[in-house]
Amino acid sequence: MKHCWLLLLIFLSCFSAAEPSTAKSAVRLSITGDSLTFDGKPLSFKEPLSKWIEVLGDDFIQGPERPFNAFSIDRFIFPDLGIDIAVQVNIKDVRSDWVDGQVGTLKDPYNRYITTVRISMNPEAKANPSKIYEEGTEDHPFYTMYADYAIDFYGAVVDGDVSIKSVLSQSDIVKRDRQFSFSLGVYSGYENLGNLMFNDFFGKQPEVPMTLEIWPTLKLRLENERRYFGKVVSR
């Protein structure tokens, strides 16, 4: 198997002497766990999508666009920022989310709360071993976009060139939460958590950061579901 997705699992035994940051770009997004800011403006998982748009701007694409099997109506993509945001959906009663029962629609999306923020890190995407795109969609903004700025990820300055070693030595996320996990379904710990995915070419090419994800805690996510839906709908 030539290419392999390697999820970065940060834990105490991995820490080594601090390595100087190699980021070549200015930091625009800062994730500390106590706060989240973009260009110095606060973002919060306690606020609905409309408040995020006020900070990130209105240059976004909402799904679905066909043929494009990775993009659904609950996704909002900001191509110029390399940011992909997913908002709440009613998993228990999907049809209740549709406008007039119409498939592919979503009621009141801008007032829903955010479940996941994905940030594309690699400008060339090097290779896409999962081949999730359909033929003819390779030039779609979802697959070509990337963050051309650096991100402060719990003390580690991350961009498209950062190494795993650099992140491990700089990030303080483990000091904050020893249960930090690479699992995409884990919601625990502090206000924002996340993971950083690298593409590993087994020495044939340099490891390259592909995607950084952040999400709210489980407690906050459930609170947001009750606030919007009046009940928990995700489990």
pTM for this model (two decimals): 0.81
CA dist 135 and 119 (Å) reads: 23
Tokens of 55: 């900070």
Asked, for residue 234, whether it belongs to a domain, the answer is no
The reported pLDDT for the residue numbered 190 is: 66
CA angle 102, 46, 52 (to 5 degrees): 65
Domain range holding 16? 4-229
Asked, for residue 151, whether it belongs to a domain, the answer is yes
Are the C-beta atoms of residues 211 and 121 closer than 8 Å to each other?
yes
The reported pLDDT for the residue numbered 89 is: 92
- φ/ψ (deg, to 5) at 221: -60, -45
The reported pLDDT for the residue numbered 188 is: 53
Tokens of 11: 């834990």
Asked, for residue 235, whether it belongs to a domain, the answer is no
pLDDT digit string (tens) for 76-126? 999 999 999 999 999 899 889 999 988 888 999 999 999 999 999 876 554
Total structural domains within the chain = 1
Successive 10-residue mean pLDDT values, the chain, 235 residues = 38 38 78 89 96 97 62 88 94 90 89 94 57 61 86 88 77 59 47 76 64 89 95 88
The reported pLDDT for the residue numbered 66 is: 53
The reported pLDDT for the residue numbered 83 is: 95
Are the C-beta atoms of residues 66 and 77 closer than 8 Å to each other?
no
The reported pLDDT for the residue numbered 235 is: 73
